[in-house]
Structure 1
Amino acid sequence: MKEITAKIQETAARLLTEGRVDIFIGWQKGEFGYNTKPFFAHSPEEADKLVFDEYSIHNLSNALLKFRDGHQKIGIVVKGCDSRGIVRLLEDNQFKRERLYIVGVCCPGMKDPLKKMYQDSGFAVQVNGDAELADKCRYCIQPNPVIYDELIGEKREPRLPEDRFKEVKELETKSYDERYQFFEQVLSTCIRCYACRQACVACNCRTCIFDETRPQWVGRETSISDNMMYHLVRAFHMAGRCVECGECERVCPVGIPLMLINRKLIKDVGEFFGPYEAGMEYKEGAKPPLSVYREDDPDDFI
């Protein structure tokens, strides 16, 4: 990945020197080897701090929301899922395409820094799955950027399991009571830190319904009813809009299987309104299935 890092640094320095961008967003190395974090370069000299390695896992497209009301031109490095996030922002009219210079990187799959931290902690912590690959990357359907101005690296094949929706189908076989018990159990652990919301590129409302106080749609306490209200409302807001970057589940401090919920909705939207995959291509004016209305929309469920 050293060649990719060098190319990113060269590109960022060139764009900043020529004044084609005001800020270049990528990753930099942190204090620990597995601590790669987002970085904002404002000058050609700062471009030398940019890196791309096996822990460049953060979806950088979410960082663009910090600049949506400005006029800066922004360069940004994106993997496949990150680029789908950019399509999401463009379709939601949160950003203008002409303000972006997108450097696409064909993603080999990222390692999970949390798994590495657990392994190095000295505590007997059980690490599930492939310790060398982030859980979210096991379900990746698009490792290559879908929108870019410049592409780095050779295109790669998706690493999908044989049945992408296996866990969803297993949940669907359960009775209503069993499903309720399952979600009651997993959502009872939610501490309502809103980390999932903050990490999600599709959660781009200027004022979130859960921050409203007049009226107050959900209580401040972490009761099971309020937790379910939060997760159900958020899940339906993700229907047809989730780009499967998996950041919501990855940053959850209590390990709630949020992508299981999202994949259920992805599966249903694909069956009822598709085939459809969110953020896989950018067409000006295009909207996700549940963001538009037609008179011939199916209504036999009413």
Structure 2
Amino acid sequence: MDITSKIRKIATRLLQNGEVDLFMAWEKGDLPFQSKPFFARRVEDVERIIFDEYSIHNLSNALLKFRDRQEKIGLVVKGCDSRGVVRLLEDGQIKRDRLYIVGVCCPGMKDPLQAMRDYSGFNRNLEAAPLAAKCENCIQPNPVIYDELLGEEQPPRVQGERFARVRELEQLSPDERYRFFEDILSRCIRCYACRQACVACNCRTCIFDETKPQWVGRETSISDNMMYHLVRASHMAGRCIECGECERVCPVNIPLMLINQKLIKDVDNFFGPYEAGMQYVEGAKPPLSVYQENDPDDFI
């Protein structure tokens, strides 16, 4: 029995027995590379559920739509999705007893955005679609939290030295680093796609939606762009689950995971060993979400 059939069987059982009020998975769109999030609320909906090579969207982010409600939710998670669930549990955004988690060991996904580019124009070709860039260096393809687990355990897919790009950046002088970030962030159109796709961006009111005071202007100047990315980066420290959705959905191809990986490396160095969302311990918080009176304060 393939993964899709197994997921449908579980979803049918949960909905029939009233164990969940809705079941979150994926459904197929009009084109072969379109697999999109889907919420099944009735047994009749289950036949639309699929799991294939384009089921790339991190479903844990969709749980934020239900944080103030009482429904019990079933959902399918890959490795990165499951780390997102842990982050939401740690932030108190949803309670564990509201979730029935079906884990799927992930062999890697293809990027529907890249497939769309390959499919467009005169030379339509989907056969050669590679793994999504974010999946090429996945350190956790297997779910870290689940009630049922499907599929065979997958090995990490890290290619070479994990923080090689970060170490190259660290070798630059301060002026060279500034010019590097000035160049890449000048492309930002502040569409906020990275924020919307990020499970760690779960504030009820984002600082950048505030108008009194208004923290950044409406224009896309380099100073406002840097303000946006610096504040967002500080919020990601110790909280990024390395799912890569922010970089994948960026329409101007800003290497956002380079910034996040620098933060991941430094948080692990200063507060670790630590990797965000790798295990769920009730009451646990990320390093920068807690403090102790004897914490080092030499920087003050």
TM-score band by shorter chain is: over 0.9
Question: 1:23-172 counterparts in 2 under 5 A?
Answer: 23-122=22-121, 131-172=129-170
Moved over 6 A (4+): none
One-letter identity of the residue aligned with 1:274: G
One-letter identity of the residue aligned with 2:291: Y
State the SS of the aligned residue for 1:16: helix
- Counterpart of 2:174 (choices 164, 170, 176) is 176
The answer for unaligned runs of 5 or more in structure 1 is none
Q: Deviations 1:29-71 (Å, cap 9, x if unpaired)?
A: 1111001000000101101100000000000000000000000
- Name the structure 2 match of 1:256: 254
One-letter identity of the residue aligned with 1:34: F
- Distance in 1, Cα, partners of 2:169 & 2:123: 30
Question: 1:190-269 counterparts in 2 under 5 A?
Answer: 190-269=188-267
Superposition CA RMSD, Å: 1.4
- Name the structure 2 match of 1:296: 294
State the SS of the aligned residue for 2:294: coil
Moved more, 57-66 or 131-140: 131-140
* Matched positions, count: 297
Q: Displacement of 1:131 after TM fit?
A: 4.3
- Name the structure 1 match of 2:21: 22
- Distance in 2, Cα, partners of 1:115 & 1:267: 28
The answer for unaligned runs of 5 or more in structure 2 is none
- Distance in 2, Cα, partners of 1:146 & 1:257: 26
Q: Deviations 1:89-148 (Å, cap 9, x if unpaired)?
A: 0000000000000000000000111221111212799xxxx9411111112111000000
- Distance in 1, Cα, partners of 2:121 & 2:109: 23
State the SS of the aligned residue for 2:136: helix
- Name the structure 2 match of 1:6: 5
- Distance in 1, Cα, partners of 2:210 & 2:279: 33
- Distance in 2, Cα, partners of 1:172 & 1:121: 39
- Distance in 2, Cα, partners of 1:7 & 1:83: 18
State the SS of the aligned residue for 2:24: strand
- Distance in 2, Cα, partners of 1:241 & 1:51: 30
- Distance in 2, Cα, partners of 1:288 & 1:139: 23
State the SS of the aligned residue for 2:36: strand
